[in-house]
């Protein structure tokens, strides 16, 4: 007997949640820009937070990741947009909200 459609499995990892967000958001973006956003996340965010459970990530964890990215000099430029890294950390005039 067929029990009917299965409920979607819950998204628990940070990477799965971000990829779902990106998949929904990318349709409204220029393809190259959407690809840059995903590449940036894959290189700078997913290595430290990607496999972690969403409920286990604190604001301090995100700030630590952002500071590490900034220290490598990756928090500005075309992949992020001018001032993106400073705006997320709240330390620059390019204060943008995610």
Residue 94: predicted pLDDT: 41
Q: What is the pLDDT of residues 28-40, one digit of tens each?
A: 999 999 999 999 9
- Domain ranges in the chain are 14-89
CB 20 within 8 A of CB 11: yes
Low-confidence ranges of the chain (pLDDT < 50): 77-98
Distance separating alpha carbons of residues 78 and 48, to the nearest angstrom? 22
Distance CA 45, CA 85 (A): 12
């Amino acid at each position: 007997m067929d029990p009917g459609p299965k409920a979607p499995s819950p998204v628990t990892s940070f990477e799965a949640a971000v990829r779902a967000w990106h998949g929904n958001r990318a349709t409204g973006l220029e393809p190259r820009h959407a690809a840059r956003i995903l590449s940036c996340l894959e290189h700078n965010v997913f290595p430290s937070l990607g496999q972690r459970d969403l409920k286990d990530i604190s604001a301090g964890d995100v700030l630590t990741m952002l500071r590490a990215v900034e220290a490598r000099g990756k928090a500005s430029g075309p992949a992020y947009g001018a001032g993106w890294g400073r705006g997320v950390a709240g330390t620059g005039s390019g204060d943008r909200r995610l």
